[in-house]
Amino acid sequence: MVRLMRTASLLGVAALFAGGATGCGTSGQAGGVSPASASATTATTATTATTTGAPPAEPVGASATGAASPTPASSPVERTLAGMSLPDKVGQLFVPVLWGAGADASSPENQSRYGTPTPAKVIKKYRPGGVILFPWAGNVKSVGQIVALTNGLQRSSPAVPLVVAADQENGPVSRLAPLVTKIPAASVIGRTGDPALARQAAEVTGTELRALGINLDFAPVADVNINPRNPVIGPRAYGSDPQKVAGMVAAAVKGFHKAGVASTAKHFPGHGDTNVDSHTGLPVIKHSPAQWRRLDAPPFKAAIDAGVDAVMSAHVVMPKLDPSGDPSTLSKPILTGLLRDKLGFKGVISTDALDMAGVRKKYGDGEVAVRAILAGADLLLMPPDLPRAHAAVLKAVKSGRIPERRLDESVRRLLTLKSARGFLERAPVADAAKAERVVDSAAHRKVARRIVERSSD
């Protein structure tokens, strides 16, 4: 069964790019393991997910390729968009870090960076589309504290509910440790060879995030770790075989969706073959178009076919895909040409964190934000200077450098994600008592143990 599915995935990717060195055309469903073919999630985990009120696995109005159907003029998305001012729309693009354990907690970091002391006041001032939580920003103390924080953040944005995001991959990137279940790294899950376990792991993580009031995870990693000297991906990837990684990624997307949490495949067009960390430098990957199609593309195609909500860009240069020398985050040939036009992705394109060195080599922080939108990005993650970036994008729209219709495209995608995951018209409210029961539960720890046992078989 798994062998047949891997073959189908390979044929799907090959068909997608048939007809030339740069790839053209589209295919039907590519690889990945379908929900029906994966073994059933444990009854205890499924029950836990149900108690969180998770919506259906498939995004509302989305096709199997993650393409959002046209939204009627009377839809909640269009009504919300029509009621937004230009600054509202620009704000919606940004997902910053806000310092503090509570929405009304004052922090000198907020004051120095944003000109106002509390997360709630920053949200009122800039009206961002979301926030991302980190322990180093004082956001992660206890289960009850996170619930109070996320509820307070949502109350601070009454017009349009927030994306509340976490970078919870598990393994070495676990921003909510030690509170959440200690799920093994993707590489451990990959060694089991069982996509059903990837789905169960994602469902456990998604269920716990949802209980805490977090509605988007920047996971799973879709990179293929083909360079053993890779300093930044390594155990974060499911493995070094593109087809096996594709099956795991597709299964993880389905697991997050069953839990009612939006998922993000990262880092496009692929960060697996580098020996430079994009947090501190600018990696260059010299894959030809043919190598990219064979080595890097299959997991992203599988994620799109599984209905992934967002795809995160990589701060890497791929000169044979775009000779400009710009990182992929700022590359229209890569984000629009490959991801949108070739792979057919219609969801949200997120940048990787904009405070990383890999994206700041050539341009200032305001110009980076503008160029990311022009390249095709929708969500600007963690700008190091939010006031400067916000002002630069607003100025670019007013001058016509970024057409307002282009701005509307990004805002529409972000609102569509919120609608598909059930938090556009009404902000979710997390329950502290329920979260205490769900987070790091015995049933979830059992899933983690099963993965470890199977990985050593």
Query: 215 near 421, Cβ under 8 Å?
Result: yes
Structure tokens at 36: 């029906």
Among the listed residues 309, 352, 365, 378, the single catalytic one is 352
The tally of CA atoms less than 13 A away on the side-chain side of residue 410 is 30
Tell me the C-alpha to C-alpha distance, in Å, between residue 328 and each of 7, 20, 106.
Answer: 29, 22, 36
Told to judge if 408 belongs to the known catalytic residues of this protein, a careful annotator would answer no
Among the listed residues 279, 341, 408, 440, the single catalytic one is 279
Q: Report the C-alpha gap between 319 and 284 in whole angstroms.
A: 8
Of the candidates 399, 394, 346, the one whose C-alpha atom is nearest the C-alpha of residue 373 is: 394
User: Count of CB atoms within 10 A of residue 112's CB?
Assistant: 10
Told to judge if 279 belongs to the known catalytic residues of this protein, a careful annotator would answer yes
Sheet containing 310-313: order of strands: 264-268, 310-313, 348-350
SS3 268: strand
Q: Which 8-state DSSP code applies to residue 197? A: H
Decide the pairing of beta strands 216-217 and 173-174: unpaired
Structure tokens at 11: 């044929």
SS3 312: strand
Q: Which 8-state DSSP code applies to residue 59? A: P
Q: Report the C-alpha gap between 102 and 120 in whole angstroms.
A: 9
Catalytic residue positions? Answer: 279, 352
